[in-house]
Structure 1
């Protein structure tokens, strides 16, 4: 069941790059779209928090708020900055170096050894992402690729810190994932509220940005984070990181259905490798 949660999270997250790029095309800045994204996430999670009758815990709030700001305040902002200079497909390739960082951090933090199957899974995942995007000519980009690549790579690095930190703490925590999501979104909303006031961007938000912000809040934020909190109760951080690139597979399928995009040999091969990687990793865990 926990593996299913992480797969559904990847499915829900598959709209992130496309909606992010669309938001820029209609004139929204990274700060504005992130503010709206977490405003709506805060409202949704707050309604659930009240409905479920949870009691506010200041210690958990401070912890998950801090981790949320690290991931969504620093990592997400860096990703959206980088996305302005890259096409969404290439940004996906760079971002999904993530399993490499997660495996390294988990090894350093928990002293858990990385066996041959785990390492193979990471290699398959990244190779699959690269090949799949080569299949759709993701690297044909004449924009400022160096700066954009650096920002997305930095985002991937920071997100890995978040996944490993949350993954280790949440297994020892008796709180509910919906509760943790509320604490996370509250902290990040406050962060972007202050940030956009300081930069005066909050006063320039156009109502045409609202729909993108709402969809990003639901599909790319609230749903995947909550599902990942459920998943991390049982599965390892690096396994979650290897399931995350399935987002690319789901995005490709949705594009084929709704946008009539075609698959080719390279793209299919890459997506197969992405799909195999979590299976190989799980086999490595079971053999320990």
Structure 2
């Protein structure tokens, strides 16, 4: 489920870049993304007959605003200065932040295999980063990189906090997804109203907003919530960087971005990290 989530989420940077190219602002893209996500999750919430819980709504709404209000906004701002594949590479320093936060918040200790997997993931991201820089002549690359790193850190906070809550027996992933999208939708609705951007929404933004809602938001978040019932946040964070491989392939196909040897080596290392970590977990369970 986590790997499928990474694959589905890989359209985020490509569709985000496309949305900028047709004239949408960051707030407009994210408003449409979470408007449609809210509608989809709301239909499932109603059809499944879930009862509304105010405390859960507050908790997951705040998580939604943290991840999709702050982290996603920062990612899309950074995306304006970077190529989609490069932005995704920077974003997936995520396992480092998750591992550090998890040891501080949950007191979970990492063994040598866990640390090795994180190190391999980090080196893979770094090598891929160097490969992307070879193609970039953007003078704002440092600013864009710092913004994406901030986004990655906030997302790590979200993953660790959500993981802890979702492991409770009375927490349902689909119900939690509805609360997450509800809070995020309200946040962006207020934001586009305050910026007077709701009046300049264009019908040609709708399709990319809807696809972002389904493939980059509802499907990956729900799959992540389901997988966090079974996985540690540390393991999920090591699977998530597989998205950069999928995103780079999509960028090459639809945005004509190029590959080089450094990028390929980096991708292989990023792909190897979750295999090592999951194998370690399986051996411990055995």
TM-score by length of 2: 0.93
Aligned to 1:179: 175
Q: Deviations over 1:43-64 (max 9, x none)?
A: 0111111111111111111110
Q: Deviations over 1:98-131 (max 9, x none)?
A: 1000000000011111121111111211222333
Alpha carbons of 1:260 and 1:156: their partners in 2 closer, same or farther (altered >3 Å)? closer
* Conserved 8 A contact 2:2-2:227: yes
Aligned to 1:39: 35
1:265 is displaced (CA, Å) by 3.4
Inter-partner Cα distance in structure 1 for 2:38 and 2:80: 25
Secondary structure in 2 matching 1:142:
coil
Alpha carbons of 1:193 and 1:137: their partners in 2 closer, same or farther (altered >3 Å)? same
Moved more, 128-137 or 256-265: 256-265
Aligned to 1:125: 121
Matched, 1:246 2:248: no
Q: Deviations over 1:127-167 (max 9, x none)?
A: 22333354455652323122211211110010000000000
Aligned to 1:99: 95
Aligned to 1:81: 77
Match for residue 72 of structure 1 among 64, 68, 77: 68
Match for residue 14 of structure 1 among 3, 10, 17: 10
Inter-partner Cα distance in structure 2 for 1:192 and 1:32: 8
* Conserved 8 A contact 1:129-1:248: no
Secondary structure in 2 matching 1:140:
coil
Alpha carbons of 1:143 and 1:23: their partners in 2 closer, same or farther (altered >3 Å)? farther
Question: Which stretches in structure 1 are left out of the alignment for 5+ residues?
Answer: none
Secondary structure in 2 matching 1:82:
helix
Aligned to 1:146: 142
Inter-partner Cα distance in structure 2 for 1:244 and 1:141: 28
Match for residue 167 of structure 1 among 160, 163, 169: 163
Query: 1:103-114 to 2 correspondence within 5 Å?
Result: 103-114=99-110
Secondary structure in 2 matching 1:143:
coil
Alpha carbons of 1:260 and 1:84: their partners in 2 closer, same or farther (altered >3 Å)? closer
| Alignment RMSD (CA, Å) | 1.9
TM-score by length of 1: 0.92
